Structure 1
Amino acid sequence: MDWNSMKPATTLSLPDRLSVDLERLILDGELSPGDRLPPERALAEHLGVSRVSIREALRELENRGLIDRKPGRGTVVLGPGERTGLADRIGEAVNAADAQIRDIMELRAIVEPPIARITAGRATPRDLAQLRELVEAMEKDTTKERYAELDRAFHQSIAQYTHNPLLELINEQIAQQIAPSRGSRYQTRERRQVSSAAHRRIFEAIAAGDGDLAEAEARAHVLDIAAQIAIAGKQGAEPAPGAPTTQPSADQETGI
């Protein structure tokens, strides 16, 4: 891991900027579950900042459930499934339903729009900086696998920035259920562009603190995805008007 590649501080405070950059590395997969971060002293030297700033940034990530810090063990990156208690019970409830994509999309339509509304009223400058980076990364030309990772990170971050751990856990379980569809035949390069535009609108509404608009844009996005999945599901029997009669090639597939 090249720690020198991390970005310098911007308008955010230094600890916030550091936590944003570290979170980006985790969300991007450059830091994987189980990876150990360098000790505070070494990380501070790599980045040319004080240990106090590093400590505050790591505390923020720990509060967000992204890392675990224990004496003698160091700082370890956590994966989505490494939480216990309530997370396990929620996961069992969702998985027990053996939900199909349609069922999951119905659940998303109920859960995600209000989450976007709440986030519009609670997101901090640090949160908005992270969302902006995710949106800008999705708008670039990238692979379907990379886009799927960014897409998951974007929706999960919105839930995280409600600063309500229960909503975050519920959304995390939904994300695990829909993970297969993010690289499936349902999605094309054109769909990726449409999704990126929707993500941009959701982000801008959240950044503006407009809860009504954020909720409306999030609902429109989920309903649009559900409609496209329904169309794709019918193509095997009878193509929808104007829909392609062949399945997209591998390089056309992407996330949602």
Structure 2
Amino acid sequence: MMRPTRIPEKLAKDLEQLLQDGVWRPGDQLPGERDLASRFGVSRSSVREALRILELHGWVDIRQGDGTRVAYPSESFGRRLRSRLHEEDFIAELFEVRRILEPAVAELAAERSDAKGIQRLEELLSLQQSSTTDLYRFVELDLDFHKTLAELSQNAVLSEIVVLLAAELRQTRLTATAKRFRPQSTLAEHRKILEAIRASNPEAARKAMLAHLNTVERSAKTKEVGR
């Protein structure tokens, strides 16, 4: 059964169409959240989530204090990735990149995380545990878990790359038929990563992340859903 389209997703598609139509050009600043919410009859939180989707897809650039601007083509790496996500060999290469980068991210997080960072990860896993019947919400929280790990590495370049790759691969999972959605397995793997970070054990964190990514890749190849 196809899930109903959520308001932020629909709004993101509507805004993307306007961008494709040239209503806003590269470098233009988009209207503020309040204005967009009024124009489209949605909440400001829906606007924020829609803009986040557009940013992950490379359509806009969101900067603190400068609002949201239309990205230039040269900045739209996410769009170039997205255009090739139907290619099995290309997806395999993206997973190869993740297997190189994300275990290193987990290692750094184990070395550099503080109590506050560990608490953020615990809260995300708690939210995931309560979202095991909602595929979309579960995968969104999964992305947040990987994003938070990247942030805890305290390496801004690694963080940006990891978030982009995870987000784009997420799209292939959401569009696949959810034949074998196994949230408890994903949660167990996430907990192993968290426990290694809590123990300040970089090697265990690296191994736990690599095992998780191997599971994710197998799942993607068999069109299972749920990272």
Provide TM-score, normalisation by structure 1: 0.55
CA contact (8 A) 1:181 1:255 kept: no
The answer to whether the aligner puts 1:162 opposite 2:133 as a matched pair is no
2:49 aligned counterpart, secondary structure: coil
Judged with a 3 Å threshold, the aligned counterparts in structure 2 of structure 1 residues 147 and 92 are, in CA distance, closer, same or farther, namely closer
Cα distance change on mapping 1:95 and 1:69 into 2, 3 Å = same
% of aligned pairs identical?
Answer: 25
Give the helix-richer structure, 1 or 2: 2
Work out which of the residue numbers 109, 114, 121 in structure 1 matches 2:104: 114
Q: Is the 8 A contact 1:147 1:254 kept in 2?
A: no
Q: Contact 1:143–1:254 at 8 Å: present in 2 too?
A: no
How far off is 1:192 after superposition?
1.9
Matches within 5 A, 1:56-75: 68-69=64-65
Q: Give the aligned residue type for 1:125.
A: A
Q: Is the 8 A contact 2:78 2:168 kept in 1?
A: no
* 1:32 aligned counterpart, secondary structure: helix
| Paired residue secondary structure (1:104) | helix
1:128 corresponds to 2:118: yes
- Cα-to-partner distance string for 1:84-134 (whole Å, 9 max, x where unaligned): 9xx937657856876632222221111111110111111122211111111
Q: Which amino acid aligns with 1:171?
A: V
* Distance verdict in 2 for CA 1:109–1:187, change over 3 Å: farther
Return the alpha-carbon distance in structure 1 between the equivalents of residues 75 and 175 of structure 2.
Answer: 27
Displacement of 1:29 after TM fit? 7.2
- With normalisation by structure 2, the TM-score equals 0.62
| Aligned length in residues | 171
Which residue identity is paired with 1:32? Answer: E
Aligned-partner Cα distance in 2 for 1:127–1:139: 19
Q: What is the rounded CA distance, in whole Å, between the counterparts of 1:30 and 1:131 in structure 2?
A: 25
* Contact 2:219–2:225 (CA under 8 A) maintained in structure 1: no
Structure 2 residues without counterparts, runs of 5 or longer: 1-44, 53-60
Question: RMSD value over aligned CA atoms?
Answer: 3.5
Aligned to 2:75: 88
Tell me if the contact between 2:110 and 2:196 (Cα under 8 Å) persists in the aligned partners.
yes
Unaligned runs of 5+ in 1: 1-27, 36-64, 71-75, 234-252
Corresponding residue of 2:38 = none
